Amino acid sequence: MMEYTDVHFRHLLHLITPTMELWSEMVTAMAIVNTKHDPFYMRRFLRTSRSNGTVLQLGGSDPNMLREACEVVLENMSEHGGWTGVNLNCGCPSDKVSLKGCFGARLMENPELVGECVSAMKSVLDPVGIQVSVKCRIGVDSADTYPDLRNFITTVSQTSGCRTFQVHARKAVLDGTFSPVDNRNIPPLKYDYVYRLKEDFPDLSVTLNGGVNSISDVLSVAEACKSRGGGLDGVMVGRGVVAQPWYWCTSGEVLYGGERGGGVKSRRELIREYGIWADKEEEWEGSKKGRRRILRPVVNIFNGEMGGKRWRNRIDDIMKTAGSKRKGYKDETGDDTKLSELLEKALEVMEPSIVDQTKEETMEIMLLKEEIIQGGTDSGGGVDGVAREAIKVWNEERRERERLIKEDEGDIEEDALRAGGG
């Protein structure tokens, strides 16, 4: 997501939930090609903070330019880290890209060209095993029926061999009457189109996107698709993660089972770990250029909690101290306190019980809140009921596991006492 999912935000999310696949902001192929000799931009556009599970999204509509951008990506892999996938954006509704550049969602009007673009990208990336995918809408303007979407997917997959699609389940209106924000909110979500895609193309990988804001929502859409005989290959969450990154801390455990969990245990640990990253990054970029961008990902980590606004204001105050021309840590007041220390100090505006709340406690509180919002316990039957039930079962199993571990520890202690002659 432009202005959000840069390397810093992705690093924060990686600390919270290491198993989640992460996506870059859209970078235009032209920007990559034009700056390929500039180490600053190569680092900014092409760096990942982990070796696996990150997708780079490209914008463009010129097959040659996209091919060259992919070559530049490959050339930079050893220095800036690995991408598991490269995606072509066919969903951005902004005038800037849909009118002038004629890419983004506008590309859906020309599936043959999308096929050529993807073929060009695959010619570079297939040999090294990097997957090329396409993210699109369910349609544009009046070409918004399910057959229109099916034709798009058929042409792109048949002409290029593309096997992986991410579908934002609302159409884009490109006649100039809608702003990008309108285009993300006003056209109605039609999950049904995405479920039908999975039925019609069982061999393609289909990810659903749009309006999924909670783990229950993820489970609901997965269940709804399954109940129709298909099975989604992924669910993509945008604004829901940006608004409340910490909320997703148990997504690995809940969605994939215990062994796929991991990540930090609390937000105190998160800030400690992120502080290590922040110091290194600020040392490299200098506080003037880097501080605001480095701090932006942590702004929302207490959203929805008591004191969340105090935290946001505190981070905003630290952002304002970004140095003028001085290098290194120094901020404009001449203070050279490291970001890690400023972040740890900022935690003092929050209740310790919130800062130290474990992931499991967070999930229990969320569950409670959801039940209060939805007016009671399990609705019994509907897909939402199924989703909530799945989370509840996970939670009960977790409590049981913890109880057994405690029992075990008690036994071991008793054994040790006996062995010691007690």
Ligand X SMILES: Cc1cc2nc3c(=O)[nH]c(=O)nc-3n(C[C@H](O)[C@H](O)[C@H](O)COP(=O)(O)O)c2cc1C
Residue placing its CB nearer to ligand X in the complex, 3 or 351? 3
CB of residue 240 vs ligand X: minimum separation in angstroms?
5
From the list 18, 19, 25, 389, which residue makes contact with ligand X (rule: CB under 6 A)?
Answer: 25
Q: How far is the CB of 216 from ligand X (least distance, A)?
A: 14
Among 26, 55, 298, 322, binds ligand X (CB under 6 A): 26
- Residue 29 vs 342, nearer CB to ligand X: 29
Least distance (Å) between residue 5 CB and ligand X: 7
Residue 351 engages ligand X in binding (rule: CB under 6 A): no
The answer to the question of residue 1 lying near ligand X (CB under 6 A) is yes
Number of residues near ligand X (by CB under 6 A): 21
Distance CA 341, CA 81 (A): 28
The letter for the amino acid at 84 is T
Q: Under the criterion CB under 6 A, does residue 184 sit at the interface with ligand X?
A: yes
d(CA 391, CA 363): 9
Contact (Cβ atoms closer than 8 angstroms) between residue 290 and residue 281 = yes
**Annotated active-site positions, please?**
92
Residue from 48, 209, 220, 266 binding ligand X (CB under 6 A)? 209
Query: Does residue 3 interact with ligand X by CB under 6 A?
Result: yes
Q: Is 312 in the site for ligand X (CB under 6 A)?
A: no
Q: Which of 28, 48, 49, 57 binds ligand X (CB under 6 A)?
A: 57
Please, is 372 exposed, middle or buried when counting C-beta atoms within 10 Å of its C-beta (0-12, 13-18, 19+)? Answer: exposed
Residue 307 CB, nearest approach to ligand X (Å): 26
Q: Counting contacts by CB under 6 A, is residue 168 touching ligand X?
A: yes
Residue 212 touches ligand X, criterion: CB under 6 A? yes
Say how far apart CA 261 and CA 90 lie, in whole Å.
32
Q: 162 to each of 183, 205, 263, 315, how far by Cα in Å?
A: 26, 10, 33, 43
Strand partners, 35: none
Beta strands in 10-122 (DSSP E): 22-28, 54-59, 85-90
Shortest distance (Å) from residue 383 CB to ligand X:
18
Nearest position to ligand X, beta carbon: 238
Smallest gap, in angstroms, from Cβ of residue 181 to ligand X? 8
3-class SS at 132? strand
Counting contacts by CB under 6 A, is residue 388 touching ligand X?
Answer: no
Q: Does 44 bind ligand X (CB under 6 A)?
A: no
Closest by CA position to 197, among listed 211, 183, 209 = 209
Stretch that binds ligand X, among 192-200, 206-214, 248-256, 295-303 (CB under 6 A): 206-214
Provide the token pair at 335: 């203070």
Q: Which residues of 303-326 are buried (b: 16+ CB within 10 A; e: fewer)?
A: bebeebeebbebbeebbeebbeee
CB 196 within 8 A of CB 146: yes
Binding of residue 101 to ligand X (CB under 6 A)? no
Q: Which helix (H) or strand (E) is 128 found in, with range?
A: none
Is residue 210 involved in binding ligand X (CB under 6 A)? yes
135 binding ligand X? (CB under 6 A): yes
Give just the sign of the alpha carbon dihedral 248, 252, 253, 259: negative
Binders of ligand X in range 217-256 (CB under 6 A): 237-240
Q: Which stretch binds ligand X (CB under 6 A): 62-70, 85-93, 113-121, 343-351?
A: 85-93
Bridge partners, residue 207, by sequence: 166, 234
What's the count of helices (H) and strands (E) in the chain, helices before strands? 19, 7
Kindly list the residues in this chain that would bind ligand X in the complex (CB under 6 A): 1-4, 25-26, 57, 89, 91-92, 135, 168, 184, 209-212, 237-240
